[in-house]
Structure 1
Amino acid sequence: MNAVPPFLDHLVLATPDLAATVADFTRRTGVTPAPGGVHLGLGTRNHLVGLGGRSYLEILGPDPEQPEPAGPRPFGVDRLTGPRTLTWAISPPDLDTAITTARARGYDPGPVRPMSRRTPDGTELRWRLTDGDSGHPSGLVPFLIDWGDSPHPTASDLPVTPLLEMTATAPDPEQLSGALSALNTGLPLTPGPPALSFTVDTPNGPVTFG
C-alpha cells in the first residue's frame, strides 16, 4: 500500500492552543506554517503547510479574536487537551460521483455542506465537504472535499514539508478497509488504539506528528 493515500487533500492537526502548536511545529521542523485564515462564526482559524503536490497540512485551533461560537467548534477542538492529528480529507475528481459510488459499495460518506473561510488578504474561499459517517467517528476514514472554483490552498505558495508517510492504528483495521476501498483510497493500518500519524521531510530531518 502507498505511504501517501490516493486523492489526499489535507491532514487536520487540531489543537486547543494554535499559537503554541504553530511554534512547536516551527521548532521541530525548521519550517514556519503560513497563516491560512479564519472560519467566521465557527470560532477557529488555521495555519497551513504544503505536503507536496496538491496536499497540505491544516493546523487548526480556536481563534481568540472571534467571539465564542453558538455551537461547538469544528473537529471537537473544545474537547482537546493537546495537539492531535484528528482526521484527513480526500479530493476525488468528482465529489458527487464519488459519493454515489461509495454508497453503492455500502459506505455512506454523509451529507454534503458548504463551507468558507477568509484568507489574510481578504479573499473568501468556498468549498463543499462531507460531514463523514457517524459509524466511523475515529477520523481514520476521510471526509471528502471539493474546492470548486476557489483556488486550492496549495496555490498560495505555502512553505513545504514533503509528506513521507501517513499511517494509522485501529482496534479492527479490517473493519475500516471496506470504507476506504469504497472511497478509492487507502491508509496503512495496524492494530491498536484509534490514532493517526504522519511523517514529513524537513530541514531538521524526518519529523513525525501524531
Structure 2
Amino acid sequence: MNAVPPLLDHLVLGTPDLAATVADFARRTGVTPAPGGAHLGLGTRNHLVGLGGRTYLEILGPDPEQPEPAGPRPFGVGRLTGPRALTWAISPPDLETAITAARARGYDPGPPHPMSRRTPDGTVLRWRLTDGGHAHPSGLVPFLIDWGGSPHPTASGLPVTPLLEITATVPDPDEVRRPLAALRTGLTLAAGPVALSFTVDTPNGPVTFG
C-alpha cells in the first residue's frame, strides 16, 4: 500500500479553535500555516499548508467573524472538543466519470455540489465536491473534488511540510477497503478504533497529527 494515497488532493484537520490549532501546528513543526479564507454562510474558515506537489492540508474551524450558520458546520467541526484529522479528498481527472465508475463498482460517493471560499485578498475560489451526506461515517473514505477553472490552493505559494504517510485504523478494515478500491485509491489500514493520522516532514523533524 502506498504511504500517500493515489489521487490525494488534501487532508482535513478539524478543530473547534482555529487560532489555537494553527499556533500549535506552527510550534510543533516550525512552519506557520497560511490563511486560506472564509466559507461564507457555513460559519467556517481555514488555514492551509502544502504537503508537496498538488496536495495540501486544510486546518478547518469555526469562523468567529461569521454569525451562527443555519445548519451544522462542515464536517461537524462545531461539535469537536479538540483538533482531529477528520477526512480527506481525492481529485480524479474527471469528476463525473469517477462518480459513475465508483457507482458501477458498488460505491456511491454522492452527487457533486458547488462550494466557494473567499480568500484574504478578496478572490472567490469555486469548486465542486461530492455530497457529504453520502460519506462513510468513519471519514476514512475520501470525498471527491474538482477545482474546475479556479487555481488550485497549492498554486498560491503555500508553506510546505512534505507528507510522509497517512495511516488509519478502523474496526473492519476490509469494509473500508471496498469503497476505496471503487474510487481507485487506497489507505494504509489496520484494525482498531476509528482514527486517521498523518506524518509530515518539518524543520523540527517528522511530526504526526491525528
Q: TM-score, normalised by structure 1?
A: 0.98
Q: CA deviation at 1:135?
A: 6.5
Question: What secondary structure is seen at the aligned counterpart in 1 of 2:97?
Answer: helix
| Percent identity for Structure 1 against Structure 2 | 85
For the 8 Å contact 1:15–1:21, the answer to whether it is kept is: yes
Q: CA deviation at 1:138?
A: 1.0
Unaligned runs of 5+ in 2: none
Distance 1:168 1:203 in 2: 25
Unaligned runs of 5+ in 1: none
| 2:70 matched residue in structure 1 | 70
Residue by residue, what CA displacement relative to the aligned partner does 1:152-173 show, whole Å, maximum 9, x if unpaired?
A: 0000000000000000001000
Distance 2:73 2:209 in 1: 22
Across the aligned residues of Structure 1 and Structure 2, the Cα RMSD in angstroms comes to 0.8
Question: What secondary structure is seen at the aligned counterpart in 2 of 1:169?
Answer: strand
| 1:149 matched residue in structure 2 | 149
| 1:91 matched residue in structure 2 | 91
Question: What secondary structure is seen at the aligned counterpart in 2 of 1:154?
Answer: helix
Question: What secondary structure is seen at the aligned counterpart in 2 of 1:60?
Answer: strand
- For 1:103-142, what aligned pairs fall within 5 Å after superposition? 103-132=103-132, 134=134, 136-142=136-142
Question: What secondary structure is seen at the aligned counterpart in 1 of 2:148?
Answer: coil
Aligned length: 210
Q: CA deviation at 1:79?
A: 1.0
List structure 1 segments (4+ residues) > 3 angstroms apart after TM superposition. Answer: 132-135
Q: CA deviation at 1:78?
A: 1.4
For the 8 Å contact 1:132–1:143, the answer to whether it is kept is: yes
| 2:192 matched residue in structure 1 | 192
For the 8 Å contact 2:110–2:132, the answer to whether it is kept is: yes
| 2:79 matched residue in structure 1 | 79
| 2:46 matched residue in structure 1 | 46
Q: TM-score, normalised by structure 2?
A: 0.98
For the 8 Å contact 1:111–1:132, the answer to whether it is kept is: no
For the 8 Å contact 1:108–1:133, the answer to whether it is kept is: no
